[in-house]
Structure 1
Amino acid sequence: MIQQEFNTRIFRTQDQWDSGFTYRLEKLTGGGITLYSTPTFTQWEEKGVKNPGVLAIDECGLIYYIETGTCKLYRYNPEIKSKEHIPCISGCGGEPGKVETTKRILFDKYTMWVLDAGNERISGRIQAFSRENFQIRYIIDDLENPVDIGLDESGYIYVIEKDDLGSHIFTYDTNGQRIEKVFDESCLKDPLALAVCTDKSIYVIDMEMKKFVRLTDGKCSEPFGDLSKIRPANLVIDRNGNIFILDDTGSIYQFDPDGGCQGKINIPDSSDTITGIAVDSKGNLYASGNKGIAIFVTQKKYTREQGFYYSKTLDSGIEECQWHRLALDAEIPQKSILEIYFYSSDNINIKNEIDELIRNDKKTIQEKASILDEKFHWIGPEKYISSEEIILNDEKNKTAQKTKETNTGLNDKKLTWVGSKKNPRNILFRGKGGRYLWLKIVISTFDENVRPIIREMKVFYPRISYLRYLPAIYQEDPSSREFLDRFLSIFETMSNDLETEISELFKYFDPDTTPENFLSWLASWMNMALEEGWKEEKKREFIRRASFLYKFKGTPSGIEKLIEIYTGKKPLIVENWKTGKPLVLDGKSSFILGMNSLLLQTPVRGFRLGYDSILGRVALREVVQLPEDPFLPIAHSFTVVLDLSNEEFEEYGDGLSRILNDEKPAHTSFNLRIANEMSLGSGIYVGINTRVGGYKPIYLEQRINGKPVRDSTDNTIGYGVLTGGEEQGSRIERRSRLGYDIELI
């Protein structure tokens, strides 16, 4: 059998997997599906941390928190276990620089926002502080009852407010100016908290419905999720879309982006109530309580809840098509289960209905999955269990289901694995087929330390068996025909895989498609030695650029490109002979010794033999020296300047030395300098370890409640604004108030 006799539908890239939808599964970068990770507790930060409340983490991993009781803002560095008081928030109260009931702290690169929900005496407001000096930039206090705020990656602030007319969502830019954006607010009944996902979708907890509401491009989704069993107090969303909810009992629950509960987060040694939660840019979770701050790291443990994948409609274009087999590239570790279901039909009305359901943005993933499970009489499951220690009590899965065929051509016979049980690769579709096919995959694990992964899936069709090569007598009896067809499919699968491997042999000679374990072998063809510790993509990049690198081998541009591929940073290569122009005193020179040039200054005590001059060490020669003779020490050397941190230099240092020794011309020497370790002065290189930063504009305008007053005359230069010269200082006049914006020190 030749490979061209089969058609295939492939699920490999992220776009191909996105054609279907997942429920409680995470999509891998580059393609594939796996279980969601759950935060793993690592440590309590207790040293110097007292009664932390609302907290936030900046891009450097520093923890900012409001101390309960004192209402003071502190910054804590978990690396060196130190904290410092940030005086921009100095206590409890309604004055600028003070808070009463802090609800949320947010950061971007330049600004810190603090939401003070207020109380019966003090109205809620949002204070914005500059991160450069933590001075107040502006205050938004035109909101009657701000409930919560969120920040998207573009720097827009979203505020939920409740008033007598209902609930509203307002948008502000980083300068505190309100932006007109239209939101469908009809779905907001009793909003409690909001968070903004990386795709700019806004998630809201609604207490009246006890569900989530998602707003995408201003449009509301149908309420989803079930929050009836908990009492939410706050929520945050990490970079992968995982939702974490803090309830008023101090417990933390994890939900997937579709509202499915993944379970309760275990917090060891916690006898106190958790009062605040936050996530950092890496997806790690932080929780504050009377004991201190608990840190949870993701990507170490995985949910025990089942994850589901539903494929799009696969159209063979053949009526009553007998779908052949499903091939998987999967990693199923011990104590994990993989289940496969399928459904086929010739009914185009079912196909159109399912396609419309998958495209329906108003339906949640959970609702779509429920509709499909109710509508389809799935064939299966065929379970792959990676450990014999797992005992299944489901008696229904021990025997084949026996039902009658329906008008749509369904048959409830079980699927059959083809291949090794230790490495599931192929499943043979059985039963009467149809033109359209849908797949359902269920992944689960009994061990939270392991993670089953499906990287690729191929569907082969139509069924073409070795049975057609046998005499007709072997096909007369239906039962014998079915058994023989399945039996021969084992050998057909093995043969087809071998033929596919041979026909795709060219992939082994392409650095982009060759398997990872063949990269070193492919590099040896070009006399390239790859480091074992290099990442896979870096190895492919080296091989891909081999012809270019050999063309410029030994040149500054070749060495520069090689180092850039290896470290990801562009170096500065300085050839030492170019650093200065030599001064040569000879007959052709315009310099005349004693007239316009001086070799040295006479010492105070004069020249003394043995001290300032040594007899016999200097010889006058009649022949003029060659111009390059005085500069031989630097004529064949160069310096490589690279901006690396200490950790990066420890990682790349040895490899850089080997690369430079292999690539430099044999008669040259090099000096490797790390720009990060240089001091001010000659060690500063613009573009290497120095950046020319941006600037912030100065607005000559008056602001009231964060809004500019265009016709104000208080900002005229010379009247309300004073431009200074070299002297820096302040004068106590009309525009300065002692103790407010002027402090005597």
Structure 2
Amino acid sequence: MSLNPPPVRYAVARSGEAWPEVSLDGLEADPGGDLWLRLLPGLVPPWLRPPAQLAPSGLAFDCECGLYVADTAGDQIVRWGLDCGTQMLLPGAVSRSGPGSLGGPAGLCWGPKGWLFAGSSDGRVLIFTTPQLALRDVWTGFQRPLHLACHEQSVLVVDAGARRLLRFDWRGVPDTAFDSAVQAPAGPSEPGAVAVGEDGIVYVADGAAGGVSRFTWEGGPAGPPLAPGTRPSALAVSSGVLYVADGSSGEVILYSTAGGQALGSVGGFRGPATALAVGEKTLFIKPGLDASYLAAPLRSWYRASGSLRMGPLDAGKRSVWARAAAKATVPDETAVQLAWYTDDDPAPGSIAWEPAPSLDLLVPGERYLWLQVTLSSRSPRASPTLHQVQSQTAGGSYLDYLPYVYSRDPDRSGLSRLVVDQMDPAQVEPGDIDYLRLLYARSPKQGDQLSRLLDLARSQLGDLEQQIDDLARNFDPATAPAGMLEWLGSWLAFDLPPRLLDGRHPEEVRKLLLGLAALYRRRGTASGVADFVEVYAGVRPHLLEDFQERPLWIVGETPLGFGTGMPDRNVEGMLVGEAVVGETGPEDPATIGSALFASTAHRFSVVVPTPGGTDEAARSLITTVVETEKPAHTAFHICFATPRMRVGIQARVGVDAMVAGAPDELALGETSILGIDARLAGPAEDAPGAVAAHGQVGIDTRLG
């Protein structure tokens, strides 16, 4: 048996950029791994009203920065051009009669064929082309179609009068299998607001039980209900976040679609919400039944508080915890509070958190430790930053390095001779007797101020010692902190690509630095140039060396065909009628025949596929990378291949043959060229005077 003291052990909450064994509430990590208060949508100035029960209304986006607002009170639909501030009213909205009239427009969605679908309280769903807002079709047979959602080629309609959730394709054909699958009791008995995620999960407000039910696209259950205890009046979903307008509290609450936990509520808003819509950077809230709306920028408002919890942390059978600390940056108007709890039971009935006087404290010595760090802010524009939470077990004392007089307890006589004589030699290892004598003699009184002072000193110096121990980790891309990766790259004479300088892709940078040696081994080769272009620009080019396509006709060896050709100059260096007496002569015997190869030697072409097009900055970056990485004696030609496949012009399969999408408008005299850009137009889908597939006389039939 060994009587040596157990070594000091450390427990840390953060490993690299991850916090693997902690519970987070209201906090989120940045790409570098630091924890902040979660960023939420927010309104400045705040919009605060008492909650109220209002009829549903509608908001919808199109793909051209258009926001459609249902003016339920004014019986019209308004399209706002968010990019240019233009406004368009639905044609014919002022008319109270006719097939295109609106009677209290409610739910809106933009989807199949680029059409706008609008539910009307008079029992119809109207379909309009966008952005013209021309009536396309009318679906009838509903009682009160108040909530709509679009996904792919389908439209979901909640008929509040019939208490049914229904699904149709873009032609208006019902999906009876889905309708039956989500009908009560499998689905909500009073379906309300509806939304569909990018993955096809359907979210439906339950007007009877409260909360939000979830269904797969086929109609099966997709998990337990979300937002329990709320009375949703409007829903929206985007990027793994469900936005729920709670009619009871007047808040718009965010929920994680993956874990179901509440993430926080929209800052600066309280009141009724009749519709929600999420854009790329903004949450739009419709607080009434008119044409007004509120715009809350996403990730613009720090949550008021959030916390981290970890534990139980086990010090081991022969050890106890001695210290806990949280490393944080605390700006003005923010605070960080550390709380702790220790016990000898790993599963206590309850945890009574003890607030710490500072972010670094000595804890009572027990085996199990729990820690809680709370971040808070009085300003929606500021947040503290949590870098690390760690704890340390008891170990060797700094008293061991001081003279005996500093640690001897005069009330203890030390190890008796009787105890030593009674010990079994077989159970004692060399040095144990000396350790026991030291242990019994070097035992200061309980609560000795010198011991606590030395422990505090060790807590500070111990951090430095730990940094020294971890120094080697800083030189390994796999373990170095994210903030040091760019510095590590500079040691290898490698500048990080501009797209990776924002610090949001540490894992990609690690992978790149770990493979840098192999990348350097290919430097100066065709594959190496392609590798560097892919690293810096994100697109892999094709490199074609000109000598491989050089046509040479060697009599007796080369068969006639596409691979043969005549040289572009005389092999011997003189041409009758072109030679100048005194200035030209026969080819030097040492270089004779070079004319066959000179025009293609040390030259290559770079074909860069750009299906979505590239801007001038991207093209300049690619050209610079090729110029930097090519061998110094070579020359190159670069070609940016766009989706303009033409037989005989751009048709090398796997290189530059890319099938084009819809052609651009032909503008003669500008960039369009007859014979290359000119194409015959196809039949117009809704040509004037033609009855379309859903054409209805008096609704969408137009005379030219």
Compared CA separation, residues 70 and 163, structure 1 to 2 (3 A): closer
Indicate the residue corresponding to 1:656 in structure 2. 622
Matched with 1:490 is: 456
TM-score by length of 2: 0.65
Which string of whole-angstrom CA distances, capped at 9 and with x for unpartnered residues, describes residues 537-557 of structure 1?
465454333222222222221
Corresponding residue for residue 610 of structure 1 = none
Flag the structure with larger Rg. 2
Contact 1:284 1:297 in 2 (8 A): yes
8 Å contact kept, 1:112–1:130: yes
1:157-172 matches, cutoff 5 A = 160-162=158-160, 169=165
Distance (whole Å) between structure 2 residues aligned to residue 64 and residue 429 of structure 1: 60
Preserved contact between residue 5 and residue 396 of structure 2 (Cα < 8 Å): no
Deviation at 1:565, TM superposition (A): 1.1
- 1:298 equivalent in structure 2: 298
Q: 1:628 to 1:275 in 2, by over 3 A?
A: farther
**Corresponding position of 2:394:** 463
Shift of 1:279: 1.0
- Aligned-pair CA distance for 1:338: 0.8
Is the CA contact (8 Å cut-off) linking 1:148 and 1:159 kept in structure 2?
yes
Residue type of the partner of 1:234?
Answer: A
2:453 counterpart SS class: helix
CA distance in 1, matches of 2:637, 2:43: 45
**Match in the other structure for 1:103:** 106
2:437 is aligned with 1:438: no
Q: Which string of whole-angstrom CA distances, capped at 9 and with x for unpartnered residues, describes residues 137-188 of structure 1?
A: x987666544534467x88866545457xx5555678885344446885895
Q: Quickly say closer, same or farther: Cα 1:679–1:155, change in 2 above 3 A.
A: closer
Task: Check 1:565–1:499 CA distance in 2 against 1; reply closer, same or farther (3 A cut).
Answer: same
Cα distance between partner residues in 1 of 2:585 and 2:541? 43
Partners of 2:651 and 2:273 in 1: CA distance? 47
Instruction: Find out whether 1:307 has 2:282 as its counterpart.
Output: no
Q: Equivalent residue of 1:433, what SS?
A: coil
Using a 3 Å threshold, how does the CA distance of structure 1 residues 91 and 504 change in structure 2: closer, same or farther?
farther
Query: Aligned-pair distance for 1:559?
Result: 0.9
Instruction: Give the aligned partner of residue 369 of structure 1.
Output: none
Matched, 1:570 2:540: yes
Residues 208, 76 of structure 1: alpha-carbon distance in 2 compared, 3 angstrom cutoff: same
Residues 80-91 of structure 1: pairs in structure 2 closer than 5 A: none
Moved more, 492-501 or 3-12: 3-12
- The residue identity in structure 2 corresponding to 1:665 is P
List gaps (5 residues or longer) in structure 2.
46-56, 216-220, 401-405, 410-441, 569-575, 663-681
Pick aligned residue for 1:477 from 425, 439, 445: 445
Give the corresponding residue for 1:452: 384
Q: Specify the code of the residue in structure 1 equivalent to 2:175.
A: Q
Q: Does 1:286 align with 2:217?
A: no
Is the partner of 1:326 in helix, strand or coil?
A: strand
Aligned to 2:193: 193
Partner of 2:435: none
> In 2, distance between residues paired with 1:135 and 1:508?
64
C-alpha displacement at 1:629, in angstroms?
2.7
Answering whether residue 25 of structure 2 is matched by residue 57 of structure 1, we say no
Aligned pairs (5 A) from 1:252-651 = 253=252, 255=254, 258=261, 262=265, 264-265=267-268, 277-280=276-279, 282-286=280-284, 295-303=295-303, 305-311=304-310, 313-316=311-314, 318=316, 322-347=320-345, 350=348, 376-380=351-355, 382=356, 415-417=357-359, 427-431=360-364, 433=366, 435=368, 437-460=369-392, 462-464=393-395, 466=397, 469=400, 471-473=407-409, 475-480=443-448, 483-516=449-482, 518-530=484-496, 534-535=500-501, 536=503, 537=506, 539-576=509-546, 582=551, 629=595, 632-643=598-609, 649-651=615-617
Tell me the SS of whatever aligns to 1:324. Answer: strand
Verify the 8 A CA contact 2:340 2:370 in the aligned structure 1. yes
Counterpart CA distance in 2 for 1:182 and 1:736 is: 29
CA pair 539-176 structure 1, distance change in 2 beyond 3 A: same
The answer for the alignment partner of 1:148 in structure 2 is 147
TM-score in terms of structure 1 length:
0.62
Structure 2: distance between partners of 1:144 and 1:70: 18
On the 8 A contact 2:60/2:109 being kept in 1, the answer is: yes
Q: Which amino acid aligns with 1:441?
A: V
Contact 1:193 1:204 in 2 (8 A): yes
- Summarize the alignment of residues 703-718 of structure 1 with structure 2, pairs less than 5 Å apart: none
CA contact (8 A) 1:640 1:670 kept: yes
Change beyond 3 A, Cα 1:156–1:548: farther
Task: Check 1:145–1:266 CA distance in 2 against 1; reply closer, same or farther (3 A cut).
Answer: closer
Alpha-carbon offset, residue 343 of structure 1:
2.8
Whether the aligned pair in 2 keeps the contact of 1:233 and 1:247 (CA below 8 Å) is yes
Q: Secondary structure at the match of 2:447?
A: helix
8 Å CA contact retained: 2:75, 2:104: no
Displacement of 1:379 after TM fit?
A: 0.8
Mapped contact 1:3–1:499 kept (Cα < 8 A): no
| Contact 1:158–1:171 (Cα < 8 Å) also in 2 | yes
Distance of 1:320 and 1:283 partners within structure 2: 54
1:15-94 alignment, distance < 5 Å:
16-17=19-20, 20-22=23-25, 24-26=26-28, 28=30, 33-39=35-41, 54-58=58-62, 61-65=65-69, 69=74, 71=76, 74=79, 76=81, 78=83
Q: How far, CA to CA, are the matches of 1:379 and 1:502 in structure 2? A: 32
CA distances 1:396-430 after superposition (whole Å, capped 9, x unpaired):
xxxxxxxxxxxxxxxxxxx543xxxxxxxxx3352
Is 2:29 aligned against 1:6?
no
| Counterpart-to-counterpart distance in 2, 1:621 and 1:589 | 30
Match of 2:241 in 1: 241
- SS of the aligned residue for 1:640 comes to strand
**1-structure distance, mates of 2:694, 2:611:** 44
Query: Within 1, Cα distance between the matches of 2:491 and 2:200?
Result: 48
Alignment-mate amino acid for residue 363 of structure 2: R
The residue number in structure 2 matching 1:668 is 634
Cα–Cα, structure 1 residues 75 and 641, in superposed 2: closer, same or farther, change >3 Å?
Answer: farther
Question: Separation in 2 of the partners of 1:106 and 1:161?
Answer: 15
CA RMSD of aligned residues (A): 5.7
Name the CA distance, whole Å, in 2 between partners of 1:636 and 1:90: 70
Shift of 1:36: 2.5
Looking at structure 2, the residues matched to 320 and 117 of structure 1 have their Cα atoms a distance apart, in angstroms, of 70
Q: Helix, strand or coil for the counterpart of 1:333? A: coil
Q: CA deviation at 1:6?
A: 0.4
CA contact (8 A) 2:473 2:479 kept: yes
What CA distance in whole angstroms lies between the structure 1 residues aligned with 2:86 and 2:324? 56
Q: Which letter does structure 1 place at the counterpart of 2:376? A: S
Q: How far did residue 31 of structure 1 move?
A: 5.2
The answer on whether the counterparts of 1:736 and 1:742 sit within 8 Å (CA) in structure 2 is no
- The code of the aligned residue for 1:564 comes to E
1:296 Cα deviation from its structure 2 partner: 4.1
Q: How many residues align?
A: 593
> What is the CA-CA distance between 1:76 and the residue it aligns to?
3.0
AA at the equivalent of 1:239: S
Deviation, 1:663, is: 1.2
* Paired AA for residue 467 in structure 2: E
Question: SS in structure 2 opposite 1:639?
Answer: strand
For 2:342 and 2:459, the matched residues in 1 are separated by 22
Identical-pair percentage: 18
